[in-house]
Amino acid sequence: MMNKIENAQQLRKEIVRLQTELEKKELKLQSSFNTVKEDLKPETFIVKAISSATGINFAKGDFLKSGLMATISLVLRRFVFKQESVLESKILSWAQILVDKLRDVKTKIED
C-alpha cells in the first residue's frame, strides 16, 4: 500500500524501501533457481532414485546416519521376530495344555 509522497525525503525513504524489497526478492529467486538447477542434475536424479528404492537417504552426508538407522532397524526387526516366534510357541503350548486339561475335566464329568 503506497501513501502519497509529498516531499523528497519521503521519496528517498520509499526508494530505499523498494530497493530493500527488491534485494530480498532477488535473493529468494536466486535460491529457488539454485534449488531447481541442483534438482535437474543427472547425478541428483540417480541419487534420488536409489534413495527412493532403498529407503536410505544418500544426499548431503546422511548416508552413514541413514545406513546405521537401517541396520539398527533390520537387527531389531529380526530380534523382535525371533522373540515373537518364541513367545508365540509358548502361548500355543500353554493353550494346548489348557485345552487338554479342559478335555480331561469334561471326560471325567461324563464318566
Q: Are 14 and 5 in contact (CB under 8 A)?
A: yes
- State whether residue 40 is helix, strand or coil: coil
Residue 12 lies in a domain: no
Q: What per-residue confidence (pLDDT) applies to 8?
A: 92
Exposed e or buried b for every residue in 55-77, given b needs 16+ CB within 10 A? Answer: ebbeeeeeeeebeeeeeeeeeee
For residue 20, what pLDDT is reported? 95
Asked, for residue 71, whether it belongs to a domain, the answer is yes
Inside any domain, residue 27? no
Is 52 among the domain residues? no
In a domain, 78, yes or no: yes
Q: How many domains does the chain have?
A: 1
Question: Taking all residues of the chain, what is their mean pLDDT, rounded to a whole number?
Answer: 81
pLDDT in tens, 73-105: 777 777 777 777 777 888 888 888 888 888 888
pLDDT in tens, 23-74: 999 999 999 999 888 888 887 777 777 777 766 666 555 656 666 667 777 7
| Domain-embedded: residue 2 | no
State which residues form the domain around 111: 61-111
